[in-house]
Amino acid sequence: MPRVSLEDYTFAQTGTFIPRGTFLNVATHDAHFDGDTYADPTQFDGLRFVELKKKSQAIVNERHFDMTTTSLEALAFGTGVHACPGRFFAANELKLILAHVVLNYDVKFEKHVHGRPLNKHFRAACLPDPTIKLLFRRRKN
């Protein structure tokens, strides 16, 4: 979550001074892999946010773990007044694309890939291995 300071700023609690023009980054990895928020954060759990949402409804609010809701636990779209205004559009586009693929195609890895491919790290990003090929076959309706 890179940002640039547009003016001099001093944090009231600590007195830390940030001069105008300073490039800042937030440690999003630490927030997204926090064991206090996410049970077993390094393991894939396709229902992780469904379960977190169930637990949080009585505590925080009913939209706390929605895909487009920003918080200190989920910083993919930023947070606060400068959160990504296009996050609602992006979320809907991703859902439409995924629904189209699931309904119309069979998808698998090439034959030599067994199990989940390892992640590749590029700067601050953790991405799927771009060398792994997916095979798509259009379903007959």
- pLDDT by residue for the chain (141 residues), tens only, comes to 678 999 999 999 999 999 999 999 888 888 888 998 888 998 888 888 888 887 766 565 667 778 898 888 888 888 888 899 999 999 999 999 999 999 999 999 988 888 888 889 887 778 888 899 999 999 997
Q: Residue 133: inside a domain, yes or no?
A: no
Pick from 4, 44, 59, 48: which is nearest to 26 by CA?
A: 4
Q: Residue 77: inside a domain, yes or no?
A: yes
Distance CA 2, CA 5 (A): 10
Q: Residue 127: inside a domain, yes or no?
A: no
Q: Residue 102: inside a domain, yes or no?
A: no
Q: Residue 117: inside a domain, yes or no?
A: no
Distance CA 93, CA 136 (A): 20
Query: Among all chains, which residue has been given the structure tokens 């067994």?
Result: 114
Distance CA 133, CA 113 (A): 9
Number of structural domains the chain divides into: 1
Q: Is the pTM of this model over 0.85?
A: no
The residue segments making up the domain with residue 29 are: 3-85
